[in-house]
Structure 1
Amino acid sequence: MRPAPGQQVLKAPPARALAAYATKLRVAHAARVAAAKRWGLRTVPLTAPAAPAHKPEITARKGFEVDEQEELNLPPVFTTIPTKEKVVFLTIDDGAEKDPAFLRMMSDLKIPYTAFLSDYLIKDDYAYFKKMQGRGIVLNNHTLHHPYLPALSYSRQKHEICGMQDVIEKQYGKRPTLFRPPFGNYNQDTLRAAKDCGIRYAPIWDEEVFVDHWEYREWDRDLHPGDIVLSHFRGREDWKGTMPDMVRRFLDKVTAQGYAVARLEDYL
């Protein structure tokens, strides 16, 4: 049927929208392929699924609870997110190394990660982590001075944790809800202090990745859906390589095993 005089012929909007979406996906994939090649990865990292609409229930890992964990509603300590998706979570601690190449690499590859910062290591360059935050990375609490917390009184632990909350709020505008105890060591006072400072979760890790090797918590020495992986802001002074070298080792392994890297905060 021919349109009446003056009537506009319309194309099907859904078809145009689908074509535009397909083009966007092709462009994004091509950019990811180019970035993987540029940074020396063996294969292109997998894309994580969308964040879950219903967040999984997070509880303390069995054997990682403290006395009165549930009665006091203390932040749970956990090493894995309960999910069937083949995703892992990269978390990076401390803040000693401030490598611009690392920021470029993670932005180019669009790999999410979570930072846990200690003030004594970041205070010489708060701006580096401001750039990180501007790229969508959440900055979390790893205490002011990275002490062995169980050796401290409740009040001193609270000073370490609440003091770092204050630093992050002052420098980056928001108080974190995630806290990682230094060395992964804690007691009931640690979690009480963390709760009193506004912390809701205390994730630690299931694996740790370095420039030249991995370390594992589990007997099977393997990755599992939802595992939290630890690394550190380190460079050649501490490692036999750079942070991009560490990321390369991390991504080559998880991709080869069919895992994507997801954003930890999307599951909490």
Structure 2
Amino acid sequence: MQFFRAIHLKKKYVILGVSVLAAIGLGAHFLPPVAEYTSAVLTAQTKRELPIYCVQTDEKKVAISFDAAWGADDTDELLQILDDNDVTATFFLCGYWVDKYPEEVEKIAAAGHDLGNHSATHPHMSTLSSEQITQELQGCHEAVKELTGIDMNLFRPPFGEYNDNVIRTAKENGYYSIQWDVDSLDWKEQGVEAEINQVLNHKHLGNGSILLFHNDAKYTPQALDTILKGLKEKGYDIVPVSEIIHAGEYTVDHEGRQIPSES
């Protein structure tokens, strides 16, 4: 209610200003029409901050990502499958997972995979203040840097949840916020064939897609090799997130597609 009252007052002052200018012979054309002014205010107030769900590119490539927040039993097998297929991926790590499984983190880093920030404690970050969000980001960041020397700049919000404040605060901390447009649904544990079909026949799979898996999903170790080979048979190069997103200035459209500013 206060927002619309503010709009009403601003319109009132614009109208008053136009009247005064007209009275002294300057004319109303020196100020924008009230309707345009109001539209500009509304647009500025309602613009949403979005993470990167996929990337605009003419290159036939996709990015594979894993969220690591719970167990670690399958880490060696996943790394071997990726290596066998000559694929580099991105692992989004929670701070407490880093603390609990430092050897696995070192193995992932040594294999050349991206390390990404998945927060320190896996909270619902849209409920946090900017200060609390920063603490979550920096807690994980410092844990990874101390262990591997790597300064991360990729962030995936836990549960895929975010709001404007989460995205802005992540950016202020030097992070690209990354979602996905192809969900393997491996967390649903529907079986190997279901997971393979979910990825390879996904309606959003295309140039610049970002694929979501989890490092501890029940059927992913059995499905991953077939998925990687299937993606390559479709002509896709499989790269980590850092090699698919655009650096520098960019915009994100309403579908979450990252578009470089020069496009």
Q: TM-score, normalised by structure 2?
A: 0.65
Residues 161, 193 of structure 1: 8 Å contact kept: no
Q: Which of 55, 60, 75 is matched with 1:81 structurally?
A: 55
Corresponding position of 2:72:
97
Residues 125, 133 of structure 2: 8 Å contact kept: yes
- 1:265 maps to 2:239: no
Q: Which runs of 5+ in 1 are unaligned?
A: 1-65
Residues 63, 244 of structure 2: 8 Å contact kept: no
Q: What's the offset of the Cα at 1:68?
A: 6.0
Q: What's the offset of the Cα at 1:216?
A: 7.2
CA distance in 2, matches of 1:221, 1:198: 32
Residues 158, 190 of structure 1: 8 Å contact kept: no
Corresponding position of 1:8:
none
Q: What's the offset of the Cα at 1:108?
A: 2.2
CA distance in 1, matches of 2:210, 2:233: 17
For 1:111, what is the secondary structure of its paired residue? coil
Give the direction of change, closer, same or farther, for the CA distance of 1:135–1:232 in structure 2 (3 Å limit): same
Q: What's the offset of the Cα at 1:230?
A: 0.4
Q: Which runs of 5+ in 2 are unaligned?
A: 1-44, 246-263
- 1:116 maps to 2:92: yes
Corresponding position of 2:203:
221
Q: Which of 221, 244, 248 is matched with 2:221 structurally?
A: 244
Q: What's the offset of the Cα at 1:82?
A: 1.3
> Which of 1 and 2 has greater Rg?
2
Q: TM-score, normalised by structure 1?
A: 0.64
**CA RMSD of the aligned region, Å?**
2.6
Residues 77, 203 of structure 1: 8 Å contact kept: yes
Q: What's the offset of the Cα at 1:223?
A: 1.3
Corresponding position of 1:170:
146
* 1:112 alignment partner AA: T
Q: Structure 1 residue runs of 4+, over 6 Å off?
A: none
Count residues in correspondence.
Answer: 191
- 1:197 maps to 2:173: yes
Corresponding position of 1:3:
none
Corresponding position of 2:161:
185
CA distance in 2, matches of 1:169, 1:222: 34
For 1:147, what is the secondary structure of its paired residue? coil
For 2:162, what is the secondary structure of its paired residue? coil
- 1:155 maps to 2:131: yes
Residues 86, 258 of structure 1: 8 Å contact kept: yes
For 1:123, what is the secondary structure of its paired residue? helix
Residues 171, 177 of structure 2: 8 Å contact kept: no
Q: What's the offset of the Cα at 1:91?
A: 0.6
CA distance in 2, matches of 1:67, 1:116: 30
CA distance in 2, matches of 1:223, 1:267: 14
Residues 94, 122 of structure 2: 8 Å contact kept: yes
- 1:139 maps to 2:121: no
Residues 93, 232 of structure 1: 8 Å contact kept: yes
CA distance in 2, matches of 1:175, 1:67: 33
Corresponding position of 2:106:
130
1:208-259 deviations in whole A, cap 9, x for unaligned? Answer: 1225335979xx7241111000000114xxx2x3x42131242244234332
For 2:154, what is the secondary structure of its paired residue? coil
For 1:139, what is the secondary structure of its paired residue? strand
CA distance in 2, matches of 1:128, 1:246: 21
CA distance in 1, matches of 2:231, 2:81: 17
Q: What's the offset of the Cα at 1:112?
A: 1.2
For 1:93, what is the secondary structure of its paired residue? strand
Residues 119, 158 of structure 2: 8 Å contact kept: yes
Q: In percent, how many aligned pairs have the same letter?
A: 26
More helix by share: 2
Corresponding position of 1:56:
none
Corresponding position of 2:36:
none
